[in-house]
């Protein structure tokens, strides 16, 4: 009987046999690797999208600058007037450059969530917009009228 008790004690001290399958540490490692890889895929996708947008911006910028340079070169010869079609081409190119840059900056600010939170006078804000819009209207041979208003 004594031998039987010793064998039982030896069997009970053995480690449990491992289950078939994956241990918890392997499972946790797999989850970590999956998390890293899925994050990398997301970042790569954002990078590719950003590169495409930057390529579009650069392409448009190059086209507008080249057009402005050619038009300015023709104007420098003195054979054509600034008020003619070549001057209009230069004007459109510069205006489109300004607009392209402004839109791109606006998009960057919106994407980044940049917000300047400060109190402004609505009347001053409308006045600034009116001045800029009036200049733009004149450039297009249009008239802009903004009626003043008051809160009573």
Question: Measured between alpha carbons, how far is 56 from 103 in angstroms, rounded to an integer?
Answer: 13
Question: CA dihedral in degrees (56, 59, 64, 66; nearest 10)?
Answer: 180
Q: What is the pLDDT of residue 67?
A: 93
Question: Measured between alpha carbons, how far is 86 from 90 in angstroms, rounded to an integer?
Answer: 6
Tens digit of pLDDT for each residue in 81-140? Answer: 889 999 999 999 999 999 899 888 888 888 777 666 777 788 777 877 787 788 778 878
Tens digit of pLDDT for each residue in 3-18? Answer: 555 555 555 555 555 5
Q: What is the pLDDT of residue 6?
A: 56
Split at pLDDT 50, 70, 90, the class of 62 is very high
Rg value, the chain, Cα:
35
């Amino acid at each position: 009987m004594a031998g039987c008790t010793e064998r039982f004690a030896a069997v009970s001290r053995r480690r449990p046999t491992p289950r078939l399958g994956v241990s918890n540490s392997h499972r946790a490692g797999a989850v970590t690797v999956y998390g890293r890889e899925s994050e990398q895929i997301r970042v790569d996708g954002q990078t590719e999208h950003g590169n495409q947008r930057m390529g579009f911006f650069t392409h448009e910028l190059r086209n507008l600058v080249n057009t402005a340079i050619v038009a300015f070169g023709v104007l420098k010869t003195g054979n054509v007037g600034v008020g003619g079609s070549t001057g209009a081409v230069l004007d459109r190119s510069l205006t489109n450059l300004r607009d392209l840059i402004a839109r791109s900056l606006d998009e960057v600010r919106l994407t980044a969530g940049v917000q300047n939170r400060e109190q402004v006078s609505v009347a001053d804000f409308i006045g600034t917009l009116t001045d800029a819009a009036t200049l733009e209207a004149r450039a297009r041979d249009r008239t802009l009228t903004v009626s003043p208003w008051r809160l009573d």
